[in-house]
Amino acid sequence: MKLENIVPWGRSFAEYQAMFKLTNTDLQQNILGCGDGPAAFNKELTQRGGQIISIDPIYEFSASQIKNRINAVYDEVLSQVENNKTNFVWKNIKSVDELGQIRMQAMNDFLTDYDDGKQQGRYLSGSLPKLDFSDHQFDLALCSHFLFLYSDHFTLEQHIKSVLELCRVAKEVRIYPLVSLDGKGSPHLDLVIDKLNEYNIETQLQPVDYQFQQGATKMLVASTN
Ligand SMILES: C[S@@+](CC[C@H](N)C(=O)[O-])C[C@H]1O[C@@H](n2cnc3c(N)ncnc32)[C@H](O)[C@@H]1O
């Protein structure tokens, strides 16, 4: 993976909690964060005594490389949001400036934790659709803003393999959002659900409290218990 092709962008612990409807019981489980990038979820959950491993291809890079890349893309990402403001719901986050502050705070939190987390094995370089974990090593796998969002870049076959792989390594999988970058429902969603059901994996579409991207009101929950 080339760093210049990556747009690092990370969400906060509170956003993860809302996107995945995480209860205190959920937060006490053994969690995999898949495609966590520069999000602050791992840092804050660890501080709260939780158990989490995050995987992402960007973890092959150093903190200073990721930081430089964040600084290089930050203005461009915000100006794209500004130009497409109607694609977002400005309720919890009130303005593009506030969005920038929340994202930068989360990414700085991540950066301050990254070296320690790498040493402790909490940030591992890895990529779907193949994960280097044993069967049901995790209670819960979370995938925020990667699967379904990048439906144009990641094929249906890659989606199916990835979600099956997440179900292999975790007893329960939650994925959010289910819309692609254009705000339309992902064309892969129904076919992925059909495939999971073929494997006797139970699926539910559950409404969540979090909404920022228009139309992103639900998460996919897949359970293999
Ligand atoms: C938009 S960011 C979301 C980051 C974080 N999950 C959040 O919601 O704040 C998408 C992340 O997916 C990661 N990614 C790209 N390809 C991946 C793959 N094949 N498997 C896992 N993660 C991948 C990127 O490196 C990036 O960090």
Q: How far is the CA of 164 from the centre of ligand 1 (A)?
A: 17
pLDDT bucket at 5, cuts 50 / 70 / 90: confident
Burial class (CB in 10 A: 0-12, 13-18, 19+), 225: exposed
Q: What is the pLDDT of residues 112-146, one digit of tens each?
A: 999 999 999 999 999 999 999 999 999 999 999 99
Fold observed for domain 3-223: Rossmann fold (3.40.50)
CA distance 150 to 179: 9
Question: Does residue 100 register a pLDDT over 90?
Answer: yes
Say what percent of the chain tops pLDDT 90.
92
Crossing angle, helix 156-169 and helix 189-198, to 10 degrees? 50
Left (φ > 0), alpha (ψ -120 to 50) or beta: where does 187 sit? alpha
Show the ligand 1 pocket: residues with CB < 6 angstroms: 6, 9-11, 34-37, 39, 56-58, 127-128, 144-146
Show me where the domains of the chain are located: 3-223
Model pTM score: 0.97
Q: How far is the CA of 175 from the centre of ligand 1 (A)?
A: 12
pLDDT bucket at 1, cuts 50 / 70 / 90: low
Residue nearest to atom 6 of ligand 1 (CA): 36
Q: How far is the CA of 198 from the centre of ligand 1 (A)?
A: 27
